[in-house]
Structure 1
Amino acid sequence: MKIATYNVNGIRARLPRLLEWLEEEKADIVCLQELKCDDDNFPAIDIEAAGYGAVWHGQKGFNGVAILARDAQPSPRRVGLPGDPDDTHSRYIEAEVNGVVVGSIYLPNGNPQPGPKFDYKLAWMERLRAHAAELLAEEVPLVLAGDYNVIPTPTHDDVFSVRAMQSDALMQPESRAALRRLLHLGFTDAIRARHPEGAVYTFWDYTAGAWQRDAGFRIDHLLLSPQAADRLLDAGVDKEYRGREKASDHAPTWVMLEQE
């Protein structure tokens, strides 16, 4: 079972690339982020024609998350992250597919920091940690996948240049500590479980020739519950898709689990 996360950076603008990837890679479950469209404009007909059922949580021009399932219809469990009933950002959706619970996450960027956007990011991460703890208590195969907007370590393994990103919200000590607290609940970082050393990047900016220079960093993560980690076969990044015409600035990132 291949489960992937893919920040599409505008699903309508990148629809040809998304459909191309779905056809070529045939992921079983796909978590999408940054749809940048409201619910009524989600391209459900195109997704269905590609062989995928879908649930989504859109927002006009910003944010937006979805979960797709190949030859299946995801069973929705939750729309929106609990803990703040006044939160209007569409950043979390949760569903069950073939016995696996999946959360699609678009964590706040937090820039500029310090400031209210960074405070919101850290508060959102605490809400995520609280909800994740409740999900872990269910003791089911669980994958929390998405664009976490956090570079896990200030090393070349996770970021092309520590100096270039040292003032960015994505790499602040508070952001990294919040991600560690989440992991320490009992999650496995799928990419590092399979690739413990070496540079693995999932995002390359459109500016300054970042893609051509491989000046990227790792912010798209798949966190596995113990029940999912027991089934881990492989994990990786479909890096080649970042280099295609009019591609997203993120590459699809995935985990392969043994089918029960």
Structure 2
Amino acid sequence: MKIATYNVNGVNGRLPVLLRWLEETKPDVACLQELKAPDEKFPEQAILDAGYHAIWHGQKSYNGVAILSRNADLKELRRGLPGDPDDTHSRYIEALVGGIVIGCLYLPNGNPAPGPKFDYKLNWFERLTQHAAGLLKHDIPVVLTGDYNVMPTEIDVYKPERWVDDALFRPETRQAFKTLVDQGWTDAIRKLHPNEKIYTFYDYFRDAYGRDAGLRIDHFLLNPQLSDRLISAQVDRHVRGWEKSSDHCPVWIELADK
């Protein structure tokens, strides 16, 4: 099974790019973030015409997450992260797809830090960690994937000295990610590429893509039932170079059959 994650940065404005990528790479499952569209504006018919069924959790102008499935049945398990009934941001959706629980997430950016947005980021991270702990208790394969808005280590960021005060790279953020992973999750990219320079995001400014001045902030975390089934993990970096592309690259993993 090939599972992908892609922060599309506006599902309707970048729909031609999304459809081109789906046609070119044909992932079995695609997790999308930053839909920036309310539920009723999600391009369901275009996605169906591309061969995918979808569930989505939208929000006008901001956030929004979706899970697309090409072949396997798609059963929604949860929309929204537990732990804060007052949180109205559409940042998490979870489904059972082909016998695998897939959580698609868009973690808060958190800037400026310190401040209320950074506090919200850390609180959201804590809620995710608590939910993830519960998922680990079940004897079923689980993937938690999406835009985590964190560079875990210095190898994951171009010129790390420039990012020390940014919410995506502050010690509190990196520690939160480490705490989550240390529960028993495997960072798929780093399992197969432990020392490589790999980026998944390139800013629109200063020719970041052309200079390969990026960040690795889109991640796949696998529970123990899935870690041994990991065959490959890659970034579709070339998609970032397409016209009107998102500032994120699609990232994907391939899993062996059980």
Instruction: Give 2:22's aligned residue.
Output: 22
Structure 1: how far apart are the matches of 2:192 and 2:149?
Answer: 21
**2:219 partner SS:** strand
Q: CA deviation at 1:166?
A: 1.5
Structure 2: how far apart are the matches of 1:81 and 1:114?
Answer: 23
Match of 2:177 among 162, 176, 179: 179
Instruction: Give 2:244's aligned residue.
Output: 246
Amino acid at match of 1:150: V
Q: CA deviation at 1:79?
A: 0.4
Instruction: Give 2:162's aligned residue.
Output: 164
Structure 1: how far apart are the matches of 2:208 and 2:13?
Answer: 21
Q: CA deviation at 1:139?
A: 2.0
**1:77 partner SS:** strand
Instruction: Give 1:143's aligned residue.
Output: 143
- Indicate conservation of the 8 Å contact 1:53/1:72, yes or no: no
Structure 1: how far apart are the matches of 2:243 and 2:128?
Answer: 35
The TM-score normalised by the length of structure 2 is: 0.99
Structure 2: how far apart are the matches of 1:214 and 1:167?
Answer: 22
**1:16 partner SS:** helix
1:91-123 deviation per Cα after TM superposition (whole angstroms, max 9, x unaligned): 000000010100000000000000000000000
1:192-237 deviation per Cα after TM superposition (whole angstroms, max 9, x unaligned): 0010002100000001111111110100000000001121101010
The TM-score normalised by the length of structure 1 is: 0.98
Number of residue pairs the alignment of both structures matches: 258
Amino acid at match of 2:178: R
**1:206 partner SS:** coil
Q: Where does the alignment leave 5 or more consecutive residues of structure 2 unmatched?
A: none
1:35-72 deviation per Cα after TM superposition (whole angstroms, max 9, x unaligned): 00000000000001100010000000000000000134
Structure 1: how far apart are the matches of 2:50 and 2:72?
Answer: 12
1:140-173 deviation per Cα after TM superposition (whole angstroms, max 9, x unaligned): 11100000000001x2x20011122121100000
Structure 2: how far apart are the matches of 1:36 and 1:90?
Answer: 10
What is the CA RMSD across the aligned residues, in angstroms?
0.7
Structure 2: how far apart are the matches of 1:139 and 1:186?
Answer: 13
Q: Where does the alignment leave 5 or more consecutive residues of structure 1 unmatched?
A: none
Q: Percent identity?
A: 60
Structure 1: how far apart are the matches of 2:133 and 2:165?
Answer: 30
Amino acid at match of 2:231: L
1:21-41 deviation per Cα after TM superposition (whole angstroms, max 9, x unaligned): 111101011110000000000
Instruction: Give 2:198's aligned residue.
Output: 200
Instruction: Give 2:256's aligned residue.
Output: 258
